[in-house]
Amino acid sequence: MNTIKNYKSSIYLLLSMVLGSIVGAIWGEKIMFLQPIADTFLNLLFCLVVPIVFLSLVNAIAGMKDLKKLSKILGSMMGIFILTGIIAAIYMIIVVAVFDPSAGAQITMNEVPNDLAANNNFLSMFTVGDFPLLFSRNNLIALIVFAISAGVAIVSIGEKAKPALTLFNALLEITMKLVTYAMKLAPIGLGAFFATLIGQYGTEIAGPLSRSIIIYLVASLIYYFLSNTIFAFIGGGSEGIISYWKNIISPTLTALGTCSSAASIPTNMIAAENIGISEEINSISIPMGANLHKDGAVLIQILKIGFMCSIYGINFLEPSNLITTILVSVIASTVMGAIPAGGYVGEIFIISAFNFPPESIPIMVLIGTITDAPATAINVTGDVGVAMILNRIIEGKDWMKKKLINA
């Protein structure tokens, strides 16, 4: 009975998503009248993302008071992000080399959208032109830079800034309480989202791209379980694996239902807290991971590159192409989450690196759209695994055992 109670909310989410998928498959595009319900729930989460990212980062850094420790956390975190991205790329290269994703596909190139060149100023992701723009979910990288700077400023000012830190702590408590209220609506919102998703894209999934989609789904499922189990084991040993999988279901389902790493930040932070990850690491790694750590997106980029190379007769396994593929996939995946309309920028990265014709972009966009849900689940859940590894680096290898003793 206790097991059922522990997973009660996750079971409700899963059932609602399964029911929504069935209804969407039966009704097709007629089910799109549920789109406003799905959008309302998603917008509710998006409204909470910005205050959570800002307040959690400011509180974590201002409360740390040890800038050497902060540097160690940030350096270790970025190193792990890059390393796992490269590993994900190599894994998917092997999959694509063994199973040709374009076999049997008959592709008709469509007209390219006119706004593809927009948002290709990569430095602009770190700044905004006006202060209110900081508090838009489309500018989360700039918000993270500002929040880190504000936290460091509070530390440097000392006692005089203590009232501000107290205020930020109270606001964060209020925001996290609002998250718990919002998640009570999750079964309805995610059910509607899955119904409209399947209703809209069911024909594409069963069409000429079906082989590549199936390859991705199987590969991503294997990577999801394998990589996260390894992360949890490295971070907390066998106890870490048990604790990780006990708490990661809700973030997984939220990611699958919203297709948004940003919208999954609240549930991800709750899962990390329940696992026992320290507040300072949780508040830094989860928001930053949502923007910079995207192994699932790396898998998609490799699939796109392998698909288009096969279509145009390019030797995907040539050493120079493999190196380019790894670099482009990791960089493009980071860009996708950091820049508004970043998906198009990622496609431009790919066609520029491999000299694909611009007509390739709609195909790659469609592949990315259909595979977005499982990719987001990998992106989101991997952030918790990385946080566990960071916790071990900062607090020592026995942090999980100490947590269990103190529980």
User: How do the domains of the chain map onto residue ranges?
Assistant: 37-406
Closest CA to 367 of 30, 102, 117, 138: 102
Q: Is the model's pLDDT at 336 over the cut of 60?
A: no
Q: Is the model's pLDDT at 348 over the cut of 70?
A: no
* pLDDT per position as a tens digit, 199-247: 776 655 555 567 888 888 899 999 999 999 999 999 988 888 999 999 9
The pLDDT of residue 233 is 93
Q: Model confidence at 106, in pLDDT bands (50, 70, 90)? A: low
The mean per-residue pLDDT over the stretch 12-30 comes to 79
The mean per-residue pLDDT over the stretch 292-303 comes to 88
The mean per-residue pLDDT over the stretch 55-82 comes to 80
The CA distance from 284 to 56, in Å, is 7
Long-range interactions of 38-42: CB distance < 8 A, separation 24+ = 38/189, 38/190, 38/192, 38/193, 38/195, 38/196, 40/189, 41/182, 41/185, 41/186, 41/188, 41/189, 41/190, 41/192, 41/193, 42/189, 42/193, 42/258, 42/260, 42/263
Pick the CATH number of 37-406 from 2.10.10.100, 1.10.3860.10, 2.40.10.230, 2.60.40.10: 1.10.3860.10
Q: What angle do CA 24, 29, 30 make, to 5 degrees?
A: 85
Name the DSSP class of 110. Answer: P
Q: Model confidence at 314, in pLDDT bands (50, 70, 90)? A: confident
The pLDDT of residue 5 is 53
Which residues, in sequence order, are CB contacts of 324 under 8 Å at separation 6+?
353, 354
Higher pLDDT among residues 230 and 321, named by residue? 230
The separation between the first and the last C-alpha atoms of the chain, rounded to the nearest angstrom, is 21
Q: Which residue has the tokens 């790694």?
A: 285
pTM: 0.71
Q: Count of CB atoms within 10 A of residue 293's CB?
A: 29
The pLDDT of residue 362 is 65
The pLDDT of residue 230 is 94
Percent of the chain with pLDDT over 70: 81
102 contacts 309 by C-beta, under 8 angstroms: no
